[in-house]
Structure 1
Amino acid sequence: MTSSTPCDQPVRSLISTTLATPALRADRWLLVLDLARKWSTTNAADIKKSLSSSLEKLDEVERFFAYPGAQLLERLKSCLSDDDNKAFLRLAQRISTTIVSRKYHRDASAWNMDDHDDEPLNRLPQAITHLKSTPYFEVLSVVPHARSRWPLIQEEARGVRRAEDDFIYQPVIVGNAQDALTGILLNPDIGAVVLYEGFTAQSLTENPLLAAFQSVIDFSTIGDDETLVLQLAQAIKKIRPEMDIYLLSDRNIETLAGKPESRFFNRIFYQMEEPLELHLSILEGIRNRYKTPFFDNLKRYAQRPIATFHALPIARGKSVFTSNWISDMGEFYGPNLFLAESSATTGGLDSLLEPTGNIKDAQAMAAQAFGADHAFFVTNGTSTSNKMVLQALLAPGDIVILDRNCHKSHHYGCVLAGAQPYYVEAFPLVEYSMYGGVPLRTIKQALLALKAHGDLARVKMVDLTNCTFDGHVYDTRRVMEECLAIKPDLIFLWDEAWFGFAHWSPLLRQRTAMGAAAALTESLTRPEAQQAWDKQASTLGNAPDDETLLNTRLVPDPRAVRLRVYQTNSVHKSMSALRQGSIVLVKDVDFEHVESQFHEAVFTHASTSPNLQIIASLDVARRQMQLEGYGLVSNALQIALEIRKQVNSHKLISKYFRVLNSAEMIPGAFRQSGLTDYNDPSISWDKALQSIKTDEFLLDPTRMTLSCGAAGFDGTTFKNVLADKFNIQLNKTSRNSVLLQSNINNTRSDIALLIRVLVDIATDIDKKIADNDEGYQKTFENRVHALVDDLPELPNFSHFDDRYRDQPKAPTLHGDIRRAFYDAYNEAECEYIPLDSPEIAKRLQSGPALVSANFVIPYPPGFPIMVPGQVITQGIVDFMRKLDVKEIHGFNKALGLKLLKRVPGKNKG
């Protein structure tokens, strides 16, 4: 395998740089290290010149970080000016590896001036000696003072630290609002911000990075207060809402503290009259986020001597550790797993079904972290979370606009609630045997059709998947705005099982349900919202036709809107939670009216014996994301962008494999910006920013569809090859692709392994083609053709059989899926027809209709091609016959299709 050095790598495109902002620093240091190695062997003047230029670029970034600090940087520059290439290499390697490994978080020696100094740099206090066990963060201070005073401010901050502090931090100083925003974008270690009133607004240098974010994120002020310090505090919260902010003011702080805007600050101080109090407040702010109410109590519970007389023999582990036969389980898992097990909800524990103590507190902290009003922990997956929401909010006869290709839990949720799904179709990607997202126009058409038929009052919910399994992300705010313009009290359920991490990306957050709901809530309170509605009403008139409404970017009436948004997250899919750890997030202005029925849904679906370890992991996952989620998500984005670049630019790998880009995964009609590829170095500023802000669909960068058909592999086979031969695991496949996902667990080493494996596989294919005769080559070409070109058309949802429709002749599509589902329980009313039987062609041509008795879901692609009560079409049959997958839920190959027969005198229609 050939690998490029940092010098050889192309410059990151604007959009990839913006998405993976903190990666800028590591990339620049690795470039310096690479040049230092070359300079140490050649001592060439041109390399020294490149090093000088690279160090100048580093200065633009390093001023926003505490490590390595001004003195170590000056030492490095001195080595360069003194032509001491060996010393330069040693120090450059030490600094760069320390930054990449984050050794300075936990090892005091990283701060030394050189390898022989015993005295830590900048006279760090004794507390630094236990840094290995003390969480580390940095504090950004925005000051009006001359730069010459900044070292003094840093020393004052260090001077109040104490050995008994449970966290340790280093100060970073900037002098204006622009640099403050740049600092929190670049430096994921910043955990708190201190604002000294009197700083300036503008930086002395142009800042294209900040310009990019300002073009995407609405930094406009809330209210009429134009005070710079308030504007900056609001902007910081827009980028990193978890950030603690402290204000040092020389104004009448008592009056300021009484204003609504003071909510942006954790505390307001009168200048520096209480430096120790400021220090303690900073630590308290971090401590509040670090706190995990349930996990902390569970740890304390495990340390207590307890006798158990309840039905959980495994609790305390005695039956395990004293056993002759299963003690190996105890050795494998360790004692804490068993000591922390109980079926009790007293003695320091709490009840998940009726939380009153630490679980209630943990859920409240999770709600605040995700920007929700309420949060509910779920220990049996987002499948259950979805069913809880659907059962709580829908009643028999209600209509829900539902993506036909969503997870099966939504379909089963309709069965349980008795709601009637009005299926809407996502755009197809036939060449990859998958669907994308549902176009907004399709959703609006459904609402308008129901309105025309007099059924709009029955429509309670729009239920969509964001992002889809394959990475299609909606413009959630626009979808909600335009739907609310048609029906202002709609409930939205956004299944974000795969997208929970996005809250900690300032650019992706606005496309999450909670992020969009927060932005929409804010915008609806502004005078501009009412003005936009009035203008629209004047333009459209009293009775606009459907075509006009479909072609108009609708805005809702802010006076009528009842914003009701629910978001389900599989925390275990993108954060550090145990399997099946899920959460329901609520931002519903009418939640008090449905809270009791929501709790009934919880009682219905939640186990009365929930797994305590899953609950604890949800608590801990929230803690981690609040304290380091921004940096972790940025790293996951960097990993994904690097994989895309390495695979698609590799001369050998790209012959057989390709990570599909935005243009291949999203039709041009839904990419108004024209963005084609995240790693396109020629992409313009306008196109990159427009894509994030306005494209109807955006491709989640962390979800990479790897096309493998050109290598002769179907997705399932290739998945098994990667797992069995190379220890690389993944799950989602299509007929000719597999899905790679980067997350907060991945490292650059994972990239190297993947690339090495793909090179080996591509080399093996090349060798087999070269070593074998034309017959082998022809067979290989035919296999590729079958996988890449000869693909079955993807069948859409047809319609419910007339007997399951309120009005068979109506142009609307909703149907009584619940009645069809339970009709199939009567075997006498069902029949089976083999898929290859000539009876199918006869029935398709002359009837009676083939009506599915159950859900039929092939894996892959994983969407239901039949639901109970649906009429089966020729397209569905053709698709089924072309499938070569082994796993098809709801279909017994030996028996054939299970169908609902017509029973004279019973069935309607």
Structure 2
Amino acid sequence: MTYPVSTEQAPHSLIGAALATPALRADRWLSVLSVARRWAESGAAESRGALTRALADLKEFERFFAYPGAALLDRLNGWLDDDDAKAFLRLAQRISTTIVSKKYHRDVNAWSTDEQEDDPLNRLPQAITHQKNTPYFEVLSVVPHAPSRWKLIHEEVAGVRRPEDDFVYQAVIVGNAPDALTAILLNPDIGAVVLYEGFSPDGSGDNPLLDVFRSVIDISPAGDDEIHVIRLAQAIRKIRPELDLYLLSDRNIESLSGRPESRIINRIFYQMEEPLELHLSILEGIRRRYRTPFFDNLKRYAQRPIATFHALPIARGKSVFMSNWISDMGEFYGPNLFLAESSATTGGLDSLLEPTGNIKDAQEMAARAFGADHAFFVTNGTSTSNKMVLQALLAPGDIVILDRNCHKSHHYGCVLAGAQPYYVEAFPLVEYSMYGAVPLRTIKQALLALKAQGELHRVKMVDLTNCTFDGHVYDTRRVMEECLAIKPDLIFLWDEAWFGFAHWSPLLRQRTAMGAAAALTEELAWPEALAAWEAQRKALGDAPSDQVLLDTRLVPDPRAVRLRIYQTNSVHKSMSALRQGSIVLVRDVDFEHVESQFHEAVFTHASTSPNLQIIASLDVARRQMQLEGYGLVANALQVALEIRRQVNSHPVISKYFRVLGSAEMIPDAFRASDLKDYNDPEMSWAKAIRAIKDDEFLLDPTRMTLSCGHAGFDGTTFKNILAEKFNIQLNKTSRNSILLQSNINNTRSDIALLIRVLIDIAMQIEQKIAENGEASRRAFQNQVRELVEDLPTLPNFSRFDDRYREDATGDTLHGDIRRAFYDAYNEAECEYLLLDSEEVDRRLQSGPELVSANFVIPYPPGFPIMVPGQVITPGIVAFMRKLDVKEIHGFNRSLGLKLLKRTAGDGAGA
């Protein structure tokens, strides 16, 4: 048997195939279409032979999909057998474009076996054809029956459909467990799975695609239960947890229903005694995910005739539509935006601050969708989400291990909470003027240093960004395991503003906060976890040195661990939510003890007039991801992989531009797999598996750092050119690069536009050099050298001034950032020095020390190179002087550096 992803067939790398599995299908059909065109044009025998082989492979591949189905494939093979190239091309064109456009979801005619037939054989039931915009999905049936009986199952599915059904589905049938797992990996349309007890647990032939998931995701049974159906159900849940599962059994189902492990099954039926009830249960399961409590209610509210006597004139829209001067606003946005506005929390609406109705219901649904215990909607962005979590969990004097390069909201959160940040440094990428992520060894060193100084009890939290702006993804599970081995009650805040989509990628989910939390919860409950800890304690002894602890892969004591994990998520950054739509996800065993203070933090930061449309969009974004997120994310990954491949392999573009791979973005020490690039065609399955599972840092495939320095452009200039001349928008830049991001909104047309623009720019560069001669070539080379070689050294955090440190003689780095922040409010105690002045150089050399009075954050790179109370070093000044960016928060070039004055009582030398 030829499986869908083999080393001979995969057009890209193996890791790319595993990450973007559902996108493989369209590639195959477009390849068939390309060969069909050549056959129709030339009649060449080799093209016909290639099509014969391709269709044989497609037959194995397409059995995991309802469309195009056996009838259309047989018709296509018939045209091939009849040597009718034109008819073959017409049908191949129709099938391939239907698959790419997903027309079969909404157009019954796409299922026709003959475009001329009045009554096509493979058409959906006539009752369904009269329903417009009926959502479509597919149901996987895993059966013990011979393939000759599968037609009867299709007939049973068709027989229970009714005109009043609010969804329509087709069946996909397989006969064993490996094929079932392959189907849910390949087919994003599958929305439910029906397991007929008695199917085979084994398949035939090798399946390398399934092997990678077996290695990365533990899909073995949780316990000793050998029942095949439970094993398969557990595996499906770990790969695609959003799917509904139904079991048909001929055993004592009453007893089976009482087994704890059977709780993962939505409902158990006694064989096929109730086919209509199974059908209705499947629809109810989809309806449950489709329901959007707040959005549904808001639509109903907008349809009601309401008179408003509250302070929101724009509600109902009369002040807009009846105006002589601003009615164009109403025409632009349409009436529903205004009809769905209110400042009331009564009459069917709910309060975001204290939800008791549909907002509470929507948040609970979001928590289940993301694998959290609690979820909180935030309409002020993840900046506010971060400050809420920090204020809720930290008190004055607490210490937080904090990535110095994280978003400024974390630093301001420490100021608000009075917590003392212990800054840890990410590895630098000087050649691209950016930082990566914080090595685990650095985090452990900070914890052990605080332990040696007797302050470990004050450390309440580890706060990191996952993934970073530039795409560095942590091994979240390992970070938490090793930190908990040192301090078992640590709280973790993972800022996953950019990474929310990853929950719907089975491989990337393992590196999210909630994905790792689920794995850790399961792992710590196993007897093997305690045995591993006891074995390590015996091996290390009662008082291992810090060096030994740093060099050891630590495991925590499962009896002592308190899993307390928080994730903030900018839903608007990677899902279909309005701007500033964010969510806080909680998986904290002690949440009941901090819930009241968490709500106080919400009251502190959340607006009392939250935007109802943002709340509704969060509700809808959850619905979309639960029902089609798996396929959408796979497409986003495929778009990114294709951009990487096209840019880096193009003979002209690659001379001036390059999408940086793992080898450039992650130092060798953090890539045990030696993964260099996602599109490496020589990468083995073993390396792909090791990269995803074991590398300390993985690069988010959807975040593409495009190096533009070799084209003579700094990042800001190139970003502006793309926006102003070519209508291509992006956000983040560095001195010699821009950041491209693919998401669920991108299409292949976007790829084509980008590649065309890069070709045009590259050819213009070549033409300009050729026309202007040697002088132009040397000037271009000098410009490139300045951008790619003459780069400022990235400064690390220095230290807090001694007056903001409790123990100025100690080795630890934390300080009272809050007191420094408010000391700067007293202008009499502040001074300003121009950045390029001789006085700055004199003070750096002979004192008194320069102490920053505020945050200074250049964009790019976007991290604070100075924080309140920090001692300014020569390296920081040198970096500032080389910056050519216009946007520097906290720095007024005409006034200079704002400094906290030094006095005799400060306790520091001149």
Equivalent residue number for residue 108 of structure 1: 108
1:336-735 to 2 correspondences below 5 Å: 336-735=336-735
Equivalent residue number for residue 172 of structure 1: 172
Equivalent residue number for residue 4 of structure 1: none
- Equivalent residue of 2:220, what SS? coil
| Cα deviations by residue, 1:512-564 (Å, 9 ceiling, x for unpaired) | 00000000000000011011001000000000000000000000000000000
Q: Distance in 2 between matches of 1:60 and 1:806?
A: 69
Q: Distance in 1 between matches of 2:250 and 2:648?
A: 57
Q: Distance in 1 between matches of 2:370 and 2:165?
A: 28
1:217-232 to 2 correspondences below 5 Å: 217-232=217-232
1:893-904 to 2 correspondences below 5 Å: 893-904=893-904
Equivalent residue number for residue 864 of structure 2: 864
Q: Distance in 1 between matches of 2:123 and 2:485?
A: 62
Equivalent residue number for residue 297 of structure 1: 297
Q: Distance in 2 between matches of 1:906 and 1:647?
A: 56
| Cα deviations by residue, 1:763-784 (Å, 9 ceiling, x for unpaired) | 1111110111322222211111
Matched, 1:819 2:815: no
Equivalent residue number for residue 308 of structure 1: 308
Q: Which moved further from structure 2: 799-808 or 123-132?
A: 123-132
**Native 8 Å contact 1:636 1:744 kept in 2:** yes
Q: Distance in 1 between matches of 2:119 and 2:99?
A: 20
Equivalent residue number for residue 76 of structure 1: 76
**Native 8 Å contact 2:572 2:581 kept in 1:** yes
Q: CA deviation at 1:906?
A: 6.8
- Equivalent residue of 1:310, what SS? coil
Q: CA deviation at 1:302?
A: 0.1
Equivalent residue number for residue 140 of structure 1: 140
**Native 8 Å contact 2:832 2:896 kept in 1:** yes
Q: Distance in 2 between matches of 1:510 and 1:127?
A: 43
**Native 8 Å contact 2:427 2:439 kept in 1:** yes
Q: CA deviation at 1:237?
A: 0.4
Q: CA deviation at 1:59?
A: 1.4
- Equivalent residue of 1:678, what SS? coil
The amino acid across from 1:837 in the alignment is: S
Q: Distance in 2 between matches of 1:459 and 1:67?
A: 56
**Native 8 Å contact 2:294 2:359 kept in 1:** yes
The amino acid across from 1:606 in the alignment is: A
Matched, 1:805 2:794: no
| Residue 245 to residue 442, structure 1, CA distance change in 2 (3 Å) | same
Q: Distance in 2 between matches of 1:464 and 1:531?
A: 30
| Cα deviations by residue, 1:705-764 (Å, 9 ceiling, x for unpaired) | 000000110000000000000000000000000000000000000000000000111111
TM-score by length of 1: 0.98
Equivalent residue number for residue 65 of structure 2: 65
Q: CA deviation at 1:446?
A: 0.1
Equivalent residue number for residue 213 of structure 1: 213
Q: Which moved further from structure 2: 259-268 or 548-557?
A: 259-268
| Cα deviations by residue, 1:637-685 (Å, 9 ceiling, x for unpaired) | 0000000000000011011100000000000000000000100100011
Q: CA deviation at 1:259?
A: 1.4
The amino acid across from 1:408 in the alignment is: K
Equivalent residue number for residue 247 of structure 1: 247
Equivalent residue number for residue 51 of structure 1: 51
| Cα deviations by residue, 1:54-75 (Å, 9 ceiling, x for unpaired) | 1111112100000000011011
Q: Which moved further from structure 2: 511-520 or 202-211?
A: 202-211
**Native 8 Å contact 2:637 2:701 kept in 1:** yes
Q: Distance in 2 between matches of 1:900 and 1:149?
A: 82
- Equivalent residue of 2:122, what SS? helix
Q: Distance in 2 between matches of 1:120 and 1:615?
A: 45
Q: Distance in 2 between matches of 1:429 and 1:587?
A: 33
Equivalent residue number for residue 194 of structure 1: 194
Q: Distance in 2 between matches of 1:540 and 1:203?
A: 45
Q: Distance in 1 between matches of 2:132 and 2:846?
A: 77
The amino acid across from 2:681 in the alignment is: P
Q: Distance in 1 between matches of 2:401 and 2:73?
A: 59
Q: Which moved further from structure 2: 251-260 or 337-346?
A: 251-260
**Native 8 Å contact 1:832 1:898 kept in 2:** yes
Q: CA deviation at 1:164?
A: 0.3
Q: Distance in 2 between matches of 1:843 and 1:425?
A: 26
Q: Distance in 1 between matches of 2:724 and 2:371?
A: 42
Q: CA deviation at 1:904?
A: 4.1
Q: Which moved further from structure 2: 382-391 or 84-93?
A: 84-93
Q: CA deviation at 1:10?
A: 8.2
**Native 8 Å contact 1:637 1:742 kept in 2:** yes
**Native 8 Å contact 2:426 2:438 kept in 1:** yes
- Equivalent residue of 1:386, what SS? helix
| Cα deviations by residue, 1:227-272 (Å, 9 ceiling, x for unpaired) | 1100000000000000000000111111111111121111000000
Q: CA deviation at 1:123?
A: 5.3
Q: Distance in 1 between matches of 2:390 and 2:590?
A: 16
- Equivalent residue of 1:772, what SS? helix
Count of equivalent residues = 902
**Native 8 Å contact 1:19 1:634 kept in 2:** yes
**Native 8 Å contact 1:420 1:816 kept in 2:** yes
TM-score by length of 2: 0.98
| Cα deviations by residue, 1:37-63 (Å, 9 ceiling, x for unpaired) | 111111111111100111111112100
The amino acid across from 2:500 in the alignment is: G
| Cα deviations by residue, 1:164-195 (Å, 9 ceiling, x for unpaired) | 00000000000000000000000000000000
* RMSD over aligned Cα atoms: 1.1
The amino acid across from 1:852 in the alignment is: S
**Native 8 Å contact 1:105 1:131 kept in 2:** no
**Native 8 Å contact 2:109 2:123 kept in 1:** no
**Native 8 Å contact 1:108 1:120 kept in 2:** no
**Native 8 Å contact 1:112 1:118 kept in 2:** no
Q: Distance in 2 between matches of 1:717 and 1:553?
A: 45
The amino acid across from 2:141 in the alignment is: S
The amino acid across from 2:483 in the alignment is: C
Q: Distance in 2 between matches of 1:836 and 1:120?
A: 79
**Native 8 Å contact 1:467 1:496 kept in 2:** yes
The amino acid across from 1:294 in the alignment is: F
Q: Distance in 2 between matches of 1:540 and 1:205?
A: 45
**Native 8 Å contact 2:489 2:562 kept in 1:** yes
Q: Which moved further from structure 2: 232-241 or 215-224?
A: 215-224
Q: Distance in 2 between matches of 1:44 and 1:185?
A: 36
Q: CA deviation at 1:9?
A: 11
Equivalent residue number for residue 782 of structure 1: 782
Unaligned runs of 5+ in 1: 1-7
Equivalent residue number for residue 835 of structure 1: 835
**Native 8 Å contact 2:802 2:907 kept in 1:** no
Equivalent residue number for residue 4 of structure 2: none
**Native 8 Å contact 1:131 1:168 kept in 2:** no
The amino acid across from 2:56 in the alignment is: E
| Cα deviations by residue, 1:360-409 (Å, 9 ceiling, x for unpaired) | 00000000000000000000100000000000000000000000000000
Equivalent residue number for residue 3 of structure 1: none
Q: Distance in 2 between matches of 1:545 and 1:161?
A: 69
1:873-892 to 2 correspondences below 5 Å: 873-892=873-892
**Native 8 Å contact 1:470 1:703 kept in 2:** yes
Q: Distance in 1 between matches of 2:645 and 2:704?
A: 11
